[in-house]
């Protein structure tokens, strides 16, 4: 991306700034999405353990 912007001699500074801002926004969105995915995975593990315990208690009856 930076190479393409560098090829445009007239709008080099603006293009570079826009590409940089878009890249930073992409990194922030990716980090937030990863955080949510990790939280969902942890909650899924907790739920799975509770279901397993309930099934074990039902099998003992």
The candidate with the shortest Cα–Cα distance to 29, out of 37, 39, 19, is 37
What per-residue confidence (pLDDT) applies to 15? 75
> Does 60 score more than 70 pLDDT?
yes
20 confidence band (pLDDT: 50, 70, 90)? confident
Residues of the chain above pLDDT 90, percent: 52
Distance, in Å, from the CA atom of 31 to the CA atom of 61, rounded to the nearest integer, reads: 46
């Amino acid at each position: 991306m930076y190479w393409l912007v560098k090829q445009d001699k007239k709008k080099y500074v603006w293009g570079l700034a826009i590409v940089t801002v878009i890249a930073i926004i992409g990194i922030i969105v990716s980090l937030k999405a990863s955080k949510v995915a990790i939280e969902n995975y942890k909650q899924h593990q907790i739920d799975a353990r509770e279901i397993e315990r309930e099934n074990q208690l039902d099998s003992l009856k």
